C-alpha cells in the first residue's frame, strides 16, 4: 500500500524533457481493476448453441454461470462435461494459479476461463457479469463478447466491509442485498457489528433478555438532524433470530464471503447491561442507550460470572458462525467503573496488573483464549489491542495518529502481529464525502511510521466499516457506500500494475499519469454504477463524492458534526434530479430539433419549383386526341 505521489509543488522547476506522446492505456470496464488486461480484435458470439464445458466437480458454479446468462438472454447455455467444438466456453481448473485467481481468454472462436479454485471461478464469473452487463437485460438472442485476455489475482486475502446494525437495524433482506454487492466487487468478508450500546441484535436461548430487552431502545436518536429530516419516533427495535443468522451466513458462503460476527466488549455494552445489570461493576439499572458517543458502561471484568456469561453466549454463536474469525471489539473502553469496583481492584492485585490497560488486556486474552480453543482467531480494534495482548489477536487499525501508529509498529516488530487496515482516514464509510472524499480512499496510503516492508508483510487486508448512527435508511447507506466501496475494492484487490508510471522521475509527468489513472477509475466506476442502477442503488454523484470547493467542504463537515447529517443525501437527490432533468431536456431538445428538421423538409418540398419536379409518366398519345 504505497502512498500516491503528492501534487507537485508549482515552484519546482518544470520537466525539461520534450513531451512524448504516451501510448494509450486500455482498461477493462471492471471494478476492481484486474491485474492484467489485453484487448484483442474481434468478438466471440455467445448464442443459444454455445456450450459451457465444465468438470462435473464444478457443477454448482457452472449452474450459477448458466443462470446469470439465462437472466440476460432468456435461454439456457447448456452444460457439457466434455465436448470438443468451437462454440464453447471452456472452464479449466489449474492448481498452479492462486485459488482466488483466474484468467479469461476470449478469442473469436472460443472462450477459455482458467481458475485456481472455486473462488477463482466465482470471481471470473463476476468479471464476465460486469464486462457484459448481464444484469441490464440488453440482449435478445446473442451476446458479443469482445476478445481480450484478463489475468487476475487479488492483492490481499482479506477484503472486508463492516455493517453496524446496532445503531440502526438492517434486516436480513437488506444485509443480503449488501452481500450481493460485496460479491460483485470481489470482497470476501462481511463483518457484522451485531452489538453496541444502542442495541444487541441477536437471539440467545440461554439469555432471552438479550433479544427481548437489549434489542430495543426508547427512541431513535436522530436529534442532531434538522426538523425536516427523517425522524423515527417511538421504540426502536430489531434483532435476528438464529434462523435469520443461518440464512445470511449460508447466503454469504455461496458467494465466497465469510461472515465475521462482532460482539464488542468489555465496552460498548450498555444495551447488554440494561438487560442483565449484574454484568456491570455497579449492578445498577440502566436503559439501552439512546444517545450516541461513548458510554461509560463496561462489563465488570473482576467477576467470574461475567466470563461464564460470555462463554455461554459465544458457545451459542459459534454454532451459527462457522468461519475462522471472531471479533471481540475492545475499542473505546472507559474504565471509570472499574476504578471503584472491589472485584476489579482485587483482580488487579491478585494478578499484579499495573493499570486499567493491563486489566483490559487480561480480559481480552482470557476471552481470546476461549475462542482459540474453539478454533477461532480473534480480531480486535487497535486501540484495545495493547502490546500485552496475545500475539495471535489480529489488530484492526482504525485510530490513526502518531502515538497509535508507533504502538502498532512496535507490536508488528516485537510480536509479528497481523493487521487489517481500516483507518478512519481512508475507509470510514459513515464519513461524509466532504470529510473523506472518494479520491482520498482511492489513494489512501499508510502513515510514514507504518509504510515499510516489515509492516506490509503483516497486513492481512483492508476493511471499510459503515457505522450507522446517522445512516438510518437504505438510501443513506447506499450513498455512503457507493462509489466509496469501489475505491476500497481496488485497494483490497488490485495489485497496482501501471507500467506507464514505472520509472517516471519527473514529478509533473507522474502526477499527470496518476491523475489519468484516477480518471480511468471514475470512468470504470460509471460503468459499474450502470449495473448498480439495476438494483436501485442510490450512489453518490461524482460531483458530491469528490467535492472541490474548500469552503463547501468546510461547511458540510460542520453541518455533519452539528446540525444536519443528511445534507449530502439531500444534495445528491438534487444532483440526481438535475441530471434527470438535463436528460429529459436533452430528449425534448432532440425531439424539437427533429420536428424543426421535418418542418424544413416539408417546407422545402412546398417551395420546390415545379420545373424541377420530373413527371415521367408514359401515356398513350391516342388518348389525348
Q: Which residues bind ligand ACM (CB under 6 A)?
A: 331-332, 381, 398
Nearer to ligand ACM, 154 or 380 (CB): 380
Q: Based on CB atoms, which residue is closest to Zn ion, 188 or 303?
A: 303
Question: What is the dihedral sign for C-alpha 318, 321, 324, 329?
Answer: negative
Residue 170 CB, shortest distance to ligand ACM, in Å, is: 18
User: Does 189 interact with Zn ion (rule: CB under 5 A)?
Assistant: no
CB crowding 9-34: b at 16 or more within 10 Å, else e: eeeeeebeeeeeeeeeeeebbbbbbb
- Min separation Cβ 234 and ligand ACM, Å: 28
Bridge partners of 53, per DSSP, are 80, 90
Smallest separation (angstroms) from ligand ACM to the CB of 76? 47
115 near 102, Cβ under 8 Å?
A: yes
- Shortest distance, CB of residue 315 to Zn ion, whole angstroms? 23
- The CB-of-294 to ligand ACM minimum distance in angstroms stands at 8
Name the minimum Å distance from CB 195 to ligand ACM.
13
Closest Cα partner for 567 from 226, 139, 247, 118? 226
Pick one of 28, 179, 245, 341: the residue that binds Zn ion (CB under 5 A).
341
Give the span between the Cα atoms of 125 and 491, in whole angstroms: 21
Closest CB to Zn ion among residues 117, 384: 384
Kindly determine how many residues on this chain lie close enough to bind Zn ion according to the rule CB under 5 A. Answer: 6
80 binds, among ligand ACM, Zn ion, none (CB under 5 to 8 A by kind): none
- Cβ at position 355, least distance to Zn ion in Å: 15
Residue 353 in contact with Zn ion, rule: CB under 5 A: no
What residues does 143 pair with on adjacent strands? 46
Q: Which residue is nearest to ligand ACM (CB)?
A: 331
- 244 interacts with, out of Zn ion, ligand ACM, none, CB within 5 to 8 A per kind: none
Angle at the Cα of 536 (from 142 to 118), degrees rounded to 5?
Answer: 60
Please state the closest distance from residue 344 (CB atom) to Zn ion, in A.
4
Q: Which does 341 bind (CB under 5 to 8 A by kind): ligand ACM, Zn ion, none?
A: Zn ion
Stretch that binds Zn ion, among 148-156, 279-287, 398-406, 417-425 (CB under 5 A): 279-287
The three grid cell numbers given for residue 475, joined into one nine-digit string = 438510501
List helix spans (H) across 416-549.
Answer: 438-442, 453-456, 474-481, 484-493, 507-533, 542-545
State yes or no: residue 386 binds Zn ion (CB under 5 A): no
Instruction: Between 88 and 361, name the residue whose CB sits nearer to Zn ion.
Output: 361
- Measured from the CB atom, the residue of 266 and 465 that comes closer to Zn ion is 266
Using CB distances below 5 to 8 A depending on partner kind, what does residue 438 bind out of Zn ion, ligand ACM, none? none
Q: Angle CA(260)–CA(265)–CA(271) in degrees, nearest 5? A: 100
Q: Is residue 281 within the footprint of Zn ion (CB under 5 A)? A: yes
3-state secondary structure of 465: strand
Closer to ligand ACM by CB, 250 or 291: give it.
291
| Residue 469 CB, nearest approach to ligand ACM (Å) | 11
Question: Which partner in Zn ion, ligand ACM, none is near 302 (CB below 5 to 8 A by kind)?
Answer: Zn ion
CA 416 to chain centre: 28
For residues 380 and 389, is the Cβ–Cβ distance under 8 A? Answer: yes
The length of the chain, given as a count of residues: 625
Q: Return the closest-CA partner of residue 374 out of 323, 417, 418.
A: 323
Instruction: Summarize the chain as % helix, strand, coil (round to 5).
Output: 40, 15, 45
Residue 347 in contact with Zn ion, rule: CB under 5 A: no
CB of 593 to ligand ACM, least distance (A): 54
Nearest distance from C-beta of residue 444 to ligand ACM, angstroms: 16
When binding is defined by CB under 5 A, the residue of 176, 343, 366, 474 that contacts Zn ion is: 343
Separation in Å, CA 226 to CA 24, 232, 356, 564, 571:
49, 13, 40, 6, 14
Is residue 507 within the footprint of Zn ion (CB under 5 A)?
A: no
Q: Closest CB to ligand ACM among 220 and 469?
A: 469
Specify the residue, 79 or 162, whose C-beta has the smaller distance to ligand ACM. Answer: 162
Question: What, of Zn ion, ligand ACM, none, does residue 110 touch, CB below 5 to 8 Å by kind?
Answer: none
Burial (Cβ within 10 Å: 0-12, 13-18, ≥19) of residue 208: exposed
Concatenated DSSP letters for 17-35?
SPP-PPPPPP--S-SSPPS
Query: Could you say whether residue 269 binds Zn ion (CB under 5 A)?
Result: no
The strand ranges marked E within 153-293 are: 158-164, 189-193, 195-196, 199-200, 216-217, 236-237, 258-262
**Per-residue binding letters, 148-177, with Zn ion (x by CB under 5 A):** ------------------------------
Give the span between the Cα atoms of 68 and 54, in whole angstroms.
16
Q: Which does 281 bind (CB under 5 to 8 A by kind): Zn ion, ligand ACM, none?
A: Zn ion
State the Rg of the chain over Cα.
Answer: 30
Q: Which stretch binds Zn ion (CB under 5 A): 54-62, 99-107, 341-349, 351-359?
A: 341-349
> Least Å distance between CB 209 and ligand ACM?
25
Q: 273 or 320: whose CB is closer to Zn ion?
A: 273
A 10 A CB-CB count for 332 gives: 17
Residues engaged in binding Zn ion (CB under 5 A)? 281, 300, 302, 341, 343-344
Amino acid at each position: 500500500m504505497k502512498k500516491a505521489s503528492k501534487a507537485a509543488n508549482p515552484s519546482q522547476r518544470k520537466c525539461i524533457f520534450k513531451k512524448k506522446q504516451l501510448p494509450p492505456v486500455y482498461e477493462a470496464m471492471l471494478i476492481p481493476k484486474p491485474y492484467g488486461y489485453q484487448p484483442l480484435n474481434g468478438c466471440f458470439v455467445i448464442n443459444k448453441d454455445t456450450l459451457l464445458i465444465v468438470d462435473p466437480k464444478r457443477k454448482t458454479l457452472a449452474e450459477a454461470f448458466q443462470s446469470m446468462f439465462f437472466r440476460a438472454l432468456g435461454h439456457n447455455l447448456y452444460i457439457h462435461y466434455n465436448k470438443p467444438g468451437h462454440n464453447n466456453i471452456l472452464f479449466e481448473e489449474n492448481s498452479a494459479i492462486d485459488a482466488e485467481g483466474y484468467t479469461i481468454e476470449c478469442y473469436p472462436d472460443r472462450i477459455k476461463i482458467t481458475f485456481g479454485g472455486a473462488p477463482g471461478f466465482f470471481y471470473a464469473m463476476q468479471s464476465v457479469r460486469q464486462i457484459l452487463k448481464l444484469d441490464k437485460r440488453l440482449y435478445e438472442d446473442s451476446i458479443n463478447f469482445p476478445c481480450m485476455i484478463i489475468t487476475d489475482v487479488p492483492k490481499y486475502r482479506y477484503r472486508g466491509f463492516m455493517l453496524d446494525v446496532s445503531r440502526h437495524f438492517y434486516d436480513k433482506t437488506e444485509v443480503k442485498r449488501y452481500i450481493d454487492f460485496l460479491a460483485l466487487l470481489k470482497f470476501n468478508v462481511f463483518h457484522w457489528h451485531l452489538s453496541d450500546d444502542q442495541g444487541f441484535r441477536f437471539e440467545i436461548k440461554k439469555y432471552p433478555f438479550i433479544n427481548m430487552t437489549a434489542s430495543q431502545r426508547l427512541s431513535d436518536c436522530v436529534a442532531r438532524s434538522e426538523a425536516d429530516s427523517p425522524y423515527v419516533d417511538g421504540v426502536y427495535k430489531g434483532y435476528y433470530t438464529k434462523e435469520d443468522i443461518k440464512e445470511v451466513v449460508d447466503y454469504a458462503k455461496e458467494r465466497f464471503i465469510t461472515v465475521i460476527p462482532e460482539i464488542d466488549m468489555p465496552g460498548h455494552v450498555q444495551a447488554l447491561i440494561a438487560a442483565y445489570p449484574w454484568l456491570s461493576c455497579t449492578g445498577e439499572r440502566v436503559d439501552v442507550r439512546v444517545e450516541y458517543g461513548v458510554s461509560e458502561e463496561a462489563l465488570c471484568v473482576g467477576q467470574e460470572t461475567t466470563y461464564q456469561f460470555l462463554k455461554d453466549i459465544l458457545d451459542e454463536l459459534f454454532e451459527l458462525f462457522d468461519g475462522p474469525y471472531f471479533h471481540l471489539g475492545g475499542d473505546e473502553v472507559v474504565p471509570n467503573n472499574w476504578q471503584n469496583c472491589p472485584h476489579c481492584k482485587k483482580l488487579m492485585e491478585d494478578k499484579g496488573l499495573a493499570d486499567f490497560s493491563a486489566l483490559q488486556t487480561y480480559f481480552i486474552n482470557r476471552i481470546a483464549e476461549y475462542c482459540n480453543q474453539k478454533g477461532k482467531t480473534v480480531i480486535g480494534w487497535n486501540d484495545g489491542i495493547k502490546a500485552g495482548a496475545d500475539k495471535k489477536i489480529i489488530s484492526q487499525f482504525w485510530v490513526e495518529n502518531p502515538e497509535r501508529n508507533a504502538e502498532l509498529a512496535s507490536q508488528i516488530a516485537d510480536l509479528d502481529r497481523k493487521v487489517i487496515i481500516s483507518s478512519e482516514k481512508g475507509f470510514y464509510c459513515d464519513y461524509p464525502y466532504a470529510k473523506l472524499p472518494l479520491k482520498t480512499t482511492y489513494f489512501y496510503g499508510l502513515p510514514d511510521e507504518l509504510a515499510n516492508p516489515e509492516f506490509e508483510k503483516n497486513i492481512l487486508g483492508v476493511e471499510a466499516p459503515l457505522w450507522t448512527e446517522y445512516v438510518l435508511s437504505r438510501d443513506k447507506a447506499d450513498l455512503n457506500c457507493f462509489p466509496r466501496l469501489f475505491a476500497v475494492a481496488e485497494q483490497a484487490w488490485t495489485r497496482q500494475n501501471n507500467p506507464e508510471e514505472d520509472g517516471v522521475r519527473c514529478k509533473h509527468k507522474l502526477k499527470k499519469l496518476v491523475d489519468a489513472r484516477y480518471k480511468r477509475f471514475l470512468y470504470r466506476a460509471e460503468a459499474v454504477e450502470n449495473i448498480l442502477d439495476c438494483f436501485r442503488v442510490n450512489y453518490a454523484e461524482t460531483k458530491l463524492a469528490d467535492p472541490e470547493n474548500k469552503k463547501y467542504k468546510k461547511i458540510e463537515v460542520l453541518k455533519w458534526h452539528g446540525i444536519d447529517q443528511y445534507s449530502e443525501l439531500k444534495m445528491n437527490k438534487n444532483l440526481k434530479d438535475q441530471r434527470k432533468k438535463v436528460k429529459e431536456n436533452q430528449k425534448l431538445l432532440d425531439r424539437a430539433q427533429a420536428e424543426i428538421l421535418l418542418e424544413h423538409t416539408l417546407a422545402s418540398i412546398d417551395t420546390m419549383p415545379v420545373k424541377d419536379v420530373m413527371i415521367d409518366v408514359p401515356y398513350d398519345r391516342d388518348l389525348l386526341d
